[in-house]
Amino acid sequence: MDDLVSLCKRRGFIFQSGEIYGGLQGMYDYGPLGVELKNNLKNAWWSSMVYENDNIEGLDASILSNPTVLKHSGHEDTFSDPMIDCKTCKSRFREDQLPENCNKGKCDFTEARQFNLMFKTNVGPIDDGTSFAYLRPETAQQIFTNFKNVVDSSSKTLPFGIAQIGKAFRNEITPRNFIFRVREFEQMELEFFVKPETDEDWHKTWVKKRLDWWEKQGVPIDNIELYSVPDDELAHYSKGTIDIMYKFPHGLEELEGIANRTDFDLGSHTKNQHELNISAKVMPNNNSNTRLAIQDIDTKKWVVPYVIEPSAGVDRGILAIMNEAYNVEDLGKGKERIVLRLKPHLSPIKAAVIPLKKNNEDLVNKAYDLKKRLQKLNLGRVVLENTGNIGKGYRRHDEIGTPLCITIDFESLEDNTATVRDRDTMQQERVNIDALPEYLIKRISE
Residues lying near ligand GAP in the complex (CB under 6 A) are found at 138, 140, 170, 172, 181-182, 185, 187, 189, 254-257, 309, 311-313, 315-316
Query: Which residues, listed in sequence order, are joined to residue 213 by a DSSP beta bridge?
Result: none
Q: How far is the CB of 296 from ligand GAP (least distance, A)?
A: 27
Distance CA 350, CA 397 (A): 10
Q: How far is the CB of 91 from ligand GAP (least distance, A)?
A: 19
C-beta closer to ligand GAP: residue 234 or 384: 234
C-beta closer to ligand GAP: residue 44 or 312: 312
C-beta closer to ligand GAP: residue 178 or 439: 178
- Could you give the 3-state DSSP secondary structure of residue 160? strand
C-beta closer to ligand GAP: residue 318 or 404: 318
DSSP character at residue 406: E
Q: How far is the CB of 353 from ligand GAP (least distance, A)?
A: 36
Q: How far is the CB of 370 from ligand GAP (least distance, A)?
A: 40
Q: How far is the CB of 378 from ligand GAP (least distance, A)?
A: 29
Q: What are phi and psi of 282, to 5 degrees?
A: -120, 155
Triad 318, 324, 330: Cα angle to 5°: 135
Q: How far is the CB of 68 from ligand GAP (least distance, A)?
A: 18
What is the number of the residue whose Cβ is closest to ligand GAP?
313
C-beta closer to ligand GAP: residue 166 or 403: 166
Strands 349-355 and 404-408: parallel
Distance CA 18, CA 20 (A): 6
C-beta closer to ligand GAP: residue 245 or 420: 245
Distance CA 257, CA 157 (A): 25
Distance CA 351, CA 369 (A): 14
C-beta closer to ligand GAP: residue 313 or 355: 313
Q: How far is the CB of 79 from ligand GAP (least distance, A)?
A: 9
C-beta closer to ligand GAP: residue 137 or 355: 137
Q: CA of 317: how far to CAs of 8, 248, 314, 429, in Å?
A: 15, 10, 5, 34
Q: What is the DSSP string of 32-57?
A: HHHHHHHHHHHHHHHIIIIIT-TTEE
Q: CA of 301: how far to CAs of 100, 295, 305, in Å?
A: 58, 6, 12
Q: How far is the CB of 261 from ligand GAP (least distance, A)?
A: 8
**Smallest Cα–Cα separation from 408: which of 442, 441, 374?**
374
